[in-house]
Amino acid sequence: MATLPTYVLITPARNEAQYIELTLKSVVAQTVHPLKWVIVSDGSTDGTDEIVGKYLGDNPWIELVRMPERTERNFAGKVLAFNAGYARVQDMRFDALGSVDGDASFEEDFFAFLLQKLADDPQLGLVGTAFREAGGDKYDYRFVSIEHVTGICQLFRRQCYEEIGGYVPVKGGAIDRIANIAARMKGWKTRTFTEKMYFHHRRMSTAEQGVLKARFKDGAKDYAVGSHPLWEVFRTAYQMTHPPYLVGGVALLLGYMWSVVRGVERPVSDEMAKFTQHEQMQRLKQFLTGKTLRSRA
């Protein structure tokens, strides 16, 4: 078996006292530890720093970086926090770089599993696994392709991360989607491995907001990365089969259409939007013809 790649982790954490100890316990218990794990407290005021501090003495490979408080919570701020963490590791020698949210927990062999995937396939630039959320929900990979690695936990090959120029600081979100698309545009393979799963303790995009508002924002994010209108209709129909059912689907479509009506400028290039739409139409064609959606292996 090939030697596993070395890796580092970065966790931007803003007021994650409710869950971050679960993440800490999970990473400390890994069979393969990162060379460095930088937890960036993004102006936390809820005791997050104190919880992390309890683990520093026995785990010298964990570092806490404190950023000043800010009044506005947005995804651009998350990228700035991530970049502050990356500045602490960029001069180190490592093969892979992981972005991990402070509200997820994993099995002990989680990162060893992902590192092995990178070792086995040099064309893989970004990897992750499936996940469950509070309430037992999990993604249906007909509408969220196995080529999409969700931002809760993304592990990049370092070369891939550097080639795409890192995360794009978009206030409205979709930074993980943009990273996925950018990697594939550069010729890398991106892959979610559904045979392994981690647990996300908070529903995606619901920190400090309700589910319907989160769905509305998801629609806006779909528009932001260039999603095709027909794809959005099918995605809306799919959303209506999951809580909060009809109103959740309507909120998603309204978020998309509100951006269309206002003529919101997309944060991605026309080239990326066209690339996104081409991928979506290929997946939709496969779904409608009954074919199983697979990665471009």
CATH number, domain of 36, equals 3.90.550.10
Please report, in tens digits, the pLDDT of each residue of the chain (297 residues total): 568 999 999 999 999 999 999 999 999 999 999 999 999 998 888 899 999 999 999 999 999 999 987 766 667 889 999 999 999 999 999 999 999 999 999 999 999 999 999 999 999 999 999 999 876 666 666 556 899 999 999 999 999 999 999 999 988 878 999 999 999 999 999 999 999 999 999 865 544 457 888 899 899 999 999 999 999 999 899 889 888 889 989 999 999 999 999 999 999 999 999 999 999 999 888 888 876 544 333
Q: Which domain holds residue 244?
A: 211-288
pLDDT of residue 242: 80
Q: Which residues 6+ apart lie within 8 Å of 123 measured at CB?
A: 188, 189
For 32-123, where are the E strands, in sequence order? 36-42, 62-67, 96-100, 104-105
281 and 243, same structural domain?
Answer: yes
Burial class (CB in 10 A: 0-12, 13-18, 19+), 6: middle
What is the DSSP secondary-structure string of 42-56? ES--SSHHHHHHHHH
Q: Decide if 1 is inside a domain.
A: no
- In the prediction, which pLDDT does 163 show? 98
Helix, strand, coil distribution of the chain in percent, nearest 5: 40, 20, 40
In the numeric block, which tokens belong to residue 280? 């979506």
Q: Does 60 share its domain with 183? A: yes
What's the pLDDT score for residue 211? 82
Q: Are strands 104-105 and 36-42 parallel, antiparallel or unpaired?
A: unpaired
Q: Of all helices (H) and strands (E), which one includes residue 249? A: helix 245-262
pLDDT at residue number 297: 30
Kindly state whether residues 14 and 131 are assigned to the same domain: yes
Q: Is residue 244 reached through a cis peptide bond, with omega within 30 degrees of 0 on the bond before it?
A: yes
Give the amino acid at 46.
D
Q: State whether 21 and 142 are in the same domain.
A: yes
Are 182 and 46 in a shared domain?
Answer: yes
Residue 295 lies in a domain: no
* C-alpha span between 226 and 154 (Å, rounded): 22
Q: Are residues 192 and 228 in the same domain?
A: no
Task: Identify the CA nearest to 254 among candidates 220, 277, 227, 228.
Answer: 220
Do residues 44 and 2 touch, judged by C-beta distance below 8 A?
A: no
Which pLDDT score, from 0 to 100, does residue 72 have?
Answer: 65
Locate 245 and state its tokens. Answer: 């059912």
What is the model's pTM? 0.88
Tell me, yes or no, whether 19 and 148 share the same domain. yes
Last residue of a domain, one of 200, 228, 249: 200
Total structural domains within the chain = 2
Is the same domain home to 172 and 273? no
Paired with 128 in beta bridges are 192
